[in-house]
Amino acid sequence: MCKQTVIELSVNNHPGVMSHICGLFARRAYNVEGIACMPVNGGQTSKIWLLVNADDRLDQMIKQVDKLEDVLLVERYDSGHPVFAKMAEFVQ
C-alpha cells in the first residue's frame, strides 16, 4: 500500500470550485482517494481535504492546485489528518 497524504485547501465557496479542483486531478489520471468539504464561518469560504496517494507527481499537483484563482491556501499533512480518521468510521 502506498503512502498517503492529506492536502487541506481553503477555497472560495461557490458552485464550480470543486469541479476546478477535481478536474485537475482527473485529467492527469491522479485519483483522489478521499474528499471532505465543509463551509467555514459564514460560508464565504470552505475547507476541502483531499486524501491522495503520495507519488512523485504530488509536488506538481500541489503547484497546479495552488494556481487556481479560487484556492486561497494550500497546506499539506504528510502524516494524515483526523478528518479522514473520523470519516473512516462511517464506511467501516
User: Exposed, middle or buried, 19 (CB in 10 Å: 0-12/13-18/19+)?
Assistant: exposed
Distance CA(2)–CA(12), nearest Å, equals 31
- Kindly state whether residue 69 participates in binding another protein, applying the rule CB under 8 A: yes
From the CB of 1, what's the least distance to another protein, in Å?
Answer: 27
Q: Are the CB atoms for 36 and 84 separated by under 8 Å?
A: yes
Alpha carbon 17 to its chain's center: 12
Select from 13-21, 34-42, 74-82, 83-91 the region that touches another protein (CB under 8 A): 13-21
Select from 1-9, 38-46, 63-71, 75-83 the region that touches another protein (CB under 8 A): 63-71
Contact with another protein (CB under 8 A) among 55, 59, 75, 78: 59
- Kindly state whether residue 56 participates in binding another protein, applying the rule CB under 8 A: no
Chain contacts with another protein (rule: CB under 8 A): 15-16, 19-20, 23, 27, 59-60, 63-64, 66-70
